[in-house]
Amino acid sequence: MQPQATTGLVRRLREGTPRLSAMARANDAVAELFQEYADLIAITGGEAFRARVYEKAARAVAGYPADVSTLDRKGLEGIPNVGGSTAAKIAEYLGTGRIEAVEKLRGRIPAGVRELTRIPGLGPKRAVQLYEQLGVGSLADLVTAIEDGRVAGLRGFGARAVTNLQRGIELLAASGGRVLISEAAEVAAEIVGLLAAVPGCMRVEPAGSLRRMRETIGDVDILAASDDPEPLMETFAGLPLVADVIVRGPTKTSIRTAAGLQVDLRVVPPAAWGAALQYFTGSQAHNIRVRERAVRAGLTLSEYGLFRADDGELIASGTEEEVYRRLDLPWIPPVLREDRGEVRAALRGELPELIRVEDILGDLHTHTDLTDGVSSLEEMLAAARERGYRYYAVTDHAKDLPMQRMTDAKMLAQRDRLRELAGDGGMVLLHGTELNIGPDGGVDWDAGFLAGFDLCVASVHSHFGQDQATMTRRLIRACENPYVTVIGHPTTRLINRRPAIDADWDAVFQAAAQTGTAMEINAFPDRLDLGDELIMRAKARGVRFAIDTDAHSTVHLGLLRYGVGTAGRGWLTARDVINAWPLEELRAFIDAKRRAG
């Protein structure tokens, strides 16, 4: 780190970047506590198997379709990987809002160590090592210790480890307390639902970065229309989730939730709805671009409408379409409003017809409880049929992830079972697998075994710290494998938790285009991988994409909307996405690569 940059970083870390969670479901709150409990067990030197028990329970509860708050003790024990002890802890949380065992372990750990574990890539054991051997008790202390060269002198902290640690610190600082889009969306949906029921509320919707489907959200913007704002403001300020009212006014009120998320409510007259929605949705750069166009036409644009500059006459305000049309522009989809060429494309009539959720005909990356999923094969298929998919791929992990305990026999037995179930309903079932891209770019099985799959997703699951040249060769070799249809979550990032791998992405995308390998847009909110900027670079090189959920539970299939939103931010159409194609065309895409290889 550069000294000047470090000074600002230390200041931000000292001020704190709280780990926010705006989750609404009891399942998510319990899962978060169980994951913390597993981490605390590891930090305190507890038995590894106990930590794994609670990690598995965390995944199971998070992915369980029923709300745990509605279950009795027997129902809780019916959740996969939840036994009597874990069920008792869930019941304890539901009854008291806390888990005593977690509280006790928290008390045994210095606060600084728990703070260090927030750094992406720094595990509990290394955090304890830094605390015990260097006295590092905060993020700011760690930055200083790195600069002083003390960290590099520790066993296990070589040059690459220190570099990765610095990247993790920078990633944490850059997150700035921003939450995942899914967390912000849950809070916004709850608030919108409650405000919509207030008498006099004509319309209410999320705006800002949430409506633009950004991957992380700083503040949630809610826009409402009413001739009488006061009842809306009173209801909003008194919501149960409100921990603090930051500012209260006649047209704008800002609150902070108990989880630390700021939510701003603005109320405008119904006649100004379209202008306000346009104004409070676009990024600052997009809005400046549009306002400049208004000025050149002798107009002014604000949240109240488009006006003539000379006499103040209102020109347009009722709908967004009307505002854009009076500026000689078509309506620009919210996800494009980032000033990345959308106004120029609109003027030329070149705005893309963006991919929609309803365009997706099947999911090509999903898991069952045969490996690390929560739901059974039958449950996943039933949930997919409910979504109206034309086809659906089951892609459980391959054998080179030892913890998944996959074998050739298990995979073949699943294939047989899938064939038995193929006659139930009109959805075509595809048998696939998620291969592991090894350190040298190789995958789990040989060509003979891979030929039996309908398709293969291949992903990096280990050796994240390889240098750029090695990682690039690794990904290109995977693309060159004729049986790899899709590269799964290509950068391997976990938003706010793990940085992306280092690769020459232009070279990787070129190889993907040349070999007919699709790049995944993983819809899991903590992945959204590829992200929008890399999607645009890949599209420019002719790459095709697959928007998948990577579902490990039936409830995860609903995450598709986040992947589609990210794809839209990358300017993708249905023609760019292979699982928006009819099955015959998808199969032709897969077969063409296999024949070429």
pLDDT of residue 425: 65
pLDDT of residue 424: 66
Local structure of 253: helix, strand or coil? strand
pLDDT top residue among 404 and 550: 550
DSSP string, 41-57: HHHTT--HHHHHHHHHH
Assess whether pLDDT exceeds 70 at residue 17: no
pLDDT category, 27, cuts 50, 70, 90?
confident
Domains and CATH numbers, the chain: 3-175 (1.10.150.110), 179-268 (3.30.460.10), 273-347 (3.30.210.10), 357-596 (3.20.20.140)
Assess whether pLDDT exceeds 80 at residue 527: yes
Tell me which of 110-124, 283-297, 502-516 is least confident. 110-124
pLDDT top residue among 263 and 162: 263
Assess whether pLDDT exceeds 70 at residue 427: yes
Summarised one tens digit per residue, pLDDT across range 494-522 is: 998 888 999 999 999 999 999 999 999 99
pLDDT category, 53, cuts 50, 70, 90?
confident
Question: What's the whole-number average pLDDT of the chain?
Answer: 90
CA–centroid distance for 345 within its chain: 28
Name the one residue in this structure whose structure tokens are 């047989």.
416
Assess whether pLDDT exceeds 80 at residue 281: yes
pLDDT category, 97, cuts 50, 70, 90?
confident
pLDDT top residue among 80 and 228: 228
Residues 6+ apart with CB under 8 A from 588: none
Nearest to 530 by CA among 573, 574, 486, 497: 486
Question: What's the rounded Cα separation, in Å, for the pair 480 and 469?
Answer: 16
Query: pTM of the predicted model, to two decimals?
Result: 0.86
CB 9 within 8 A of CB 169: yes
Assess whether pLDDT exceeds 60 at residue 480: yes
pLDDT of residue 584: 97
In the chain, pLDDT over 90 holds for what percent of residues?
Answer: 66
Averaged pLDDT for residues 14-36? 64
pLDDT category, 19, cuts 50, 70, 90?
very low
Nearest to 372 by CA among 28, 42, 37, 58: 58
pLDDT of residue 1: 45
Strand order through the sheet with 391-397 = 362-363, 391-397, 428-436, 455-459, 486-487, 518-522, 545-548
Assess whether pLDDT exceeds 80 at residue 550: yes
Summarised one tens digit per residue, pLDDT across range 345-388 is: 999 999 999 999 999 999 999 999 999 899 999 999 999 999 99
- In the beta sheet, which residues pair with residue 179? 217
Name the one residue in this structure whose structure tokens are 């539901």.
94
DSSP string, 85-150: HHHHHHHHHHHHSS-HHHHHHHHHS-HHHHHHTTSTT--HHHHHHHHHHH---SHHHHHHHHHTTT
Burial class (CB in 10 A: 0-12, 13-18, 19+), 314: middle
CB 222 within 8 A of CB 188: yes
Averaged pLDDT for residues 535-543? 97
Averaged pLDDT for residues 224-242? 95
pLDDT of residue 174: 67
pLDDT of residue 24: 52
The secondary structure element, H or E, covering residue 232 is helix 229-237
pLDDT of residue 21: 42
DSSP string, 149-204: TTGGGSTT--HHHHHHHHHHHHHHHHHTT-EEHHHHHHHHHHHHHHHHTSTT--EE
Q: Which of the listed ranges 47-51, 259-263, 467-471 does the model predict with the highest average pLDDT?
A: 467-471
- Backbone torsions φ then ψ of 525, nearest 5 degrees: -60, -25
Nearest to 160 by CA among 470, 461, 476: 470
Tell me which of 11-15, 226-230, 456-460, 538-542 is least confident. 11-15
Kindly report whether the peptide bond that precedes residue 530 is cis, defined as omega within 30 degrees of 0: yes
Assess whether pLDDT exceeds 70 at residue 5: no
pLDDT top residue among 162 and 319: 319
- In the beta sheet, which residues pair with residue 486? 457, 518
pLDDT of residue 14: 43
Assess whether pLDDT exceeds 70 at residue 290: yes
Nearest to 115 by CA among 54, 43, 55, 50: 43
Q: How many CB atoms lie within 10 A of CB 98?
A: 11
Averaged pLDDT for residues 561-574? 98
pLDDT top residue among 14 and 254: 254
State the angle between helix axes of 532-540 and 560-569 in degrees (0 to 180), rounded to the nearest 10: 60
